[in-house]
Structure 1
Amino acid sequence: MIFVYFFTQEVYNLFNGFVILHGTDTMSYTAAALSFIFENLSKPVVLTGSQIPIFETRSDGRDNLIGSLLLAGQYLIPEVTLYFRNRLYRGNRVTKIDSEGLNAFYSHNFPTLAEFRTKVEVKWDLVFDRSSEGPFNVHTNLNRNVSLLRLFPGITYLTMRQFLEPPIQGVVLQTYGAGNLPTNRPDLIEELRKASERGVLIVNCTQCAKGSVHYIYEAATALQKIGVCSGLDMTIEAALMKLSYILGKYSSDKKVMKMKMAENLRGEMSADSTKVTCPKINLNWILNATNDETNEESVHFRQSLIPWLIATCAQTDDIATLHHIQQVQNGIKFNTVLPCGSLPLHICAKHNAIKCADLLLRISSNENSIVNEPDHVGFTALFYAVLQLNDTMIELLIRYGAKLTATLKPSEIGMYLCNCVKNNQVDRLKAWHKAGANLDQTDYDGRTPILLAVNYNSVDCVHYLLNNGNVDISWPDNRGMTPLQIAKQRGFDNIVQVLSSYASNS
């Protein structure tokens, strides 16, 4: 991992995101290691690779690289992640499961952070953000005196003793089922007890691909009694790298090391389901408690929490809570950029939250209008409303002055229109038209939507364009051919008839 040494503060400040190309065999180990090495990470770090070499015609590397670049450049996910085959995984939650298949990686105990479908779906509520805890730091002092010991029927105490002897300082113990070790093997328990007393940090992980360690059976509680830490549902890669990181950072205090192993540092483990769940949040108390401007901790707490509350309201169209926040929090600004890089209005547009969008627009219209404000990738709420095909949201935004041209060049709008007609997507074409797009707008290559609609035999789009726009059917393509000439040449008789009728009535 020589590239770790290039992550100086100076280099880190130069870029908004990072993509690391890596071999697939050990990529999950590197992803897990980097998730701990990079402390207080505030930018995306995406690892990717390929199962088929990049110089092969069938290589999956190109798609993986393009997806990684999009995620690192356009989505503020401040984690070390692994992108493969249209899925983005948390780096310390993923493991390689297939040596030949293209779906080579999987996360058994945690959902994907994002998936590439017809649109990119990011699960913002799952993003683990620790960037506010301090400045970015690279901790390279990993302890290499760690090992992995997998139990198997017939293992001898001598084998275990050899694994636990110096210079070993930490061991990931792969046990059966929910963290069990046979109760009829006191010799193994004794070796583990001696090692623990010598200061060896032992972490109990299950051999199962899915599931967690639970100290509920006698076979598991015996390990807990001798000081073995529970690895819960960590992957072996994450447990090994976390152990190496903690031994290198807190080597002087075993009590602290055990505490840190039990702590969810980078989203690498789930909460212990056997513990008591937290009570429901008292929203009134939180909002009132954070309203004290004289208390520095209160102000910091509010600055950290309120944006997440607003984002949740915008995502679920919770107008009541949003109203409550507005009333209790004096001078609250709803044009603040949220941790995901968007404004609350963008979230509303993405999730069809009409009520909250209306409230945000009414509030902002009295001050500085937010209707045409772009997000971190340069798109407005109107753009996202069009993508969602939400006529009501489009009408609402237009009423408050939203314009496509606020951030999009005319040729870019033309490109989106041409993409619609290529696939005969009439509903999407209608949404762009409702948002104010000129149906005769050319794309980067000077092609109009009607030219593309005819070329691709998109009959429905041809009808819509002719019936709803002031379309110039005499505009030629780069070969000098008009839509009617193209239709005749291609033998599209239905389109020839429609265009001829339109020409005679014009």
Structure 2
Amino acid sequence: NYDSIFRSPSVAPFAVHDQLCRNVGLLRIFPSMSLENVRACLQSPIEGIVLQTFGTGNMPSNRTDIIDELKKAVDRGCIIINCSQCVRGQVDVQYLTGKVLYDIGIIPGSDMTTEAALTKLSYVLSKDCWKLSEKKAMMIKNIRGELTVTKAEPLRDLEIVSQMARFLHLSTSHEMELLCHAIFPQLLGYAANSGDIEMLKALHENGVDLSAVDYNGRNALHVAASAGHISAVKYLLAQGVSFHLRDQWDESALVSAVKLKNKICIETLRSAGAVLSVNSLRLGVELCLCASCGDMEALNCWLAAGADINQQDYNGKTALHIAVKSRNKQLVYYLLDRGADPYKTDHFDLTPLRHAEKLHLQDLVIRMKNMKKV
């Protein structure tokens, strides 16, 4: 059921909103409940109530006293959400009592669970910058996958699928499903590798899961980042394709962008919240390798991706150790300007400063000694 998974359309780092409204409550409807209980639940300072009703959002139609009390609460600005007590199903305002509740301003909660509705209500009511009408509109909007939004049935009528099915003599729905799982990731990879946004959109509109992975465990975002197609990267991020996924080589899309030395792509992924998920020892080796080659562009990309400039390799050496031993003064100054530690000791108890002294690189020695010890 990949189509049912909610994927955030927001291209931004994850943020937590912890200032929730406490003036919310639950009101569970049952046949013999007293009006006094209802009044007590709806008293000020209550700002929101989750109403737990029967079946598809119904309550006893002869309890006009309770309905009147609910209307008074709605009129004074209290947001009331109608949720079913049933484990499955959703609120339907087509039934008489459900429509009566809807007509007095009670918001149908669709298939939200009581817990989800209460949490959402606490969040929405805490937004003082929103008007009451905006808060009510947000309660019927799918914010984080808490309610099911009815979608048009995916077309799944791509010509290539039907042609291949005929060629392979496939007939059952299960065989067709297996065929789709086999070819869709490859089509996504082709579109991402060529930066074909229109093809990506067409595949998505035909029900293809943009987060599908190929035989290497790579999704379309890996491929787009490896090819350096920024527009494709931005589109896939906007569709909720995960940048956390690692392929069979344990590499994320961010690492793919670093290897391509595409700083714009790196910054795009970082702004969306991507973090560098590389084994610390391996990262140290990568940085030292870049330093040994004098590859400042690659080092700059690793740092832009969030790498620690003082990360050590298997010998405890940092990129600065290697740069000093290579007598690459330009690279040494570059690393020092970006926070490299000249006092970092390796497994042989040697520091970059000590290497510079041994090699009689006096200008580097003076520069390093002027730096404070971390």
Normalising by structure 2, we get a TM-score of 0.51
Contact 1:287 1:325 in 2 (8 A): no
Q: Which residue of 2 aligns with 1:381?
A: 253
Pick from 201, 207, 224 the counterpart of residue 323 of structure 1: 201
Alignment of 1:104-503 (within 5 A): 285-286=159-160, 295-329=173-207, 332-364=208-240, 370-404=242-276, 406=277, 408-469=278-339, 471-500=340-369, 502-503=370-371
Deviation readout 1:289-308 (Å, 9 max, x if unpaired): 899x9845543443333222
2:329 and 2:295 mapped to 1: Cα distance?
Answer: 10
Letter in 1 for 2:159: W
1:448 and 1:339 mapped to 2: Cα distance?
Answer: 35
Cα distance change, pair 317–495 in 1 and its aligned pair in 2 (3 A): same
Q: Bigger CA drift: 451-460 or 381-390?
A: 451-460
SS in 2 for 1:503: coil
Cα distance change, pair 300–497 in 1 and its aligned pair in 2 (3 A): same
Deviation readout 1:49-108 (Å, 9 max, x if unpaired): xxxxxxxxxxxxxxxxxxxxxxxxxxxxxxxxxxxxxxxxxxxxxxxxxxxxxxxxxxxx
Cα distance change, pair 492–298 in 1 and its aligned pair in 2 (3 A): same
Letter in 2 for 1:440: N
**Where do 5+ consecutive residues of structure 2 fail to align?**
1-156, 166-170
Letter in 2 for 1:429: L
Q: Bigger CA drift: 380-389 or 474-483?
A: 474-483
**Pairwise CA distance, 1:340:** 4.2
Alignment length, in residue pairs?
Answer: 214
Q: Which residue of 2 aligns with 1:226?
A: none
Q: Which residue of 2 aligns with 1:206?
A: none
Letter in 1 for 2:248: H
**Pairwise CA distance, 1:346:** 1.1
Q: Aligned-pair RMSD on alpha carbons?
A: 2.9
SS in 1 for 2:239: helix
Q: Which residue of 2 aligns with 1:152?
A: none
1:505 and 1:481 mapped to 2: Cα distance?
Answer: 15
Cα distance change, pair 300–498 in 1 and its aligned pair in 2 (3 A): same
SS in 2 for 1:356: helix
**Pairwise CA distance, 1:497:** 4.4
1:373 and 1:504 mapped to 2: Cα distance?
Answer: 39
Contact 2:325 2:356 in 1 (8 A): yes
**Pairwise CA distance, 1:288:** 8.2
Q: Bigger CA drift: 475-484 or 315-324?
A: 475-484
1:478 and 1:303 mapped to 2: Cα distance?
Answer: 49
Contact 2:254 2:275 in 1 (8 A): yes
2:321 and 2:190 mapped to 1: Cα distance?
Answer: 43
**Where do 5+ consecutive residues of structure 1 fail to align?**
1-282
Deviation readout 1:465-485 (Å, 9 max, x if unpaired): 11112x322223344333223
1:361 and 1:299 mapped to 2: Cα distance?
Answer: 26
Contact 1:487 1:493 in 2 (8 A): yes
2:304 and 2:230 mapped to 1: Cα distance?
Answer: 17
Normalising by structure 1, we get a TM-score of 0.39
**Pairwise CA distance, 1:382:** 0.8
1:377 and 1:298 mapped to 2: Cα distance?
Answer: 30
Contact 1:423 1:458 in 2 (8 A): no
Percent identity of equivalent pairs: 27
Instruction: Return the structure number with greater relative CO, CA threshold 8 A, min gap 6.
Output: 2
Compare the two structures and name the one with the higher strand fraction.
1
1:451 and 1:363 mapped to 2: Cα distance?
Answer: 43
Contact 2:343 2:373 in 1 (8 A): no
Q: Which residue of 1 aligns with 2:49?
A: none
Contact 1:424 1:459 in 2 (8 A): no
Deviation readout 1:119-178 (Å, 9 max, x if unpaired): xxxxxxxxxxxxxxxxxxxxxxxxxxxxxxxxxxxxxxxxxxxxxxxxxxxxxxxxxxxx
**Pairwise CA distance, 1:316:** 0.7
1:481 and 1:301 mapped to 2: Cα distance?
Answer: 59
Cα distance change, pair 402–463 in 1 and its aligned pair in 2 (3 A): same
1:504 and 1:286 mapped to 2: Cα distance?
Answer: 64
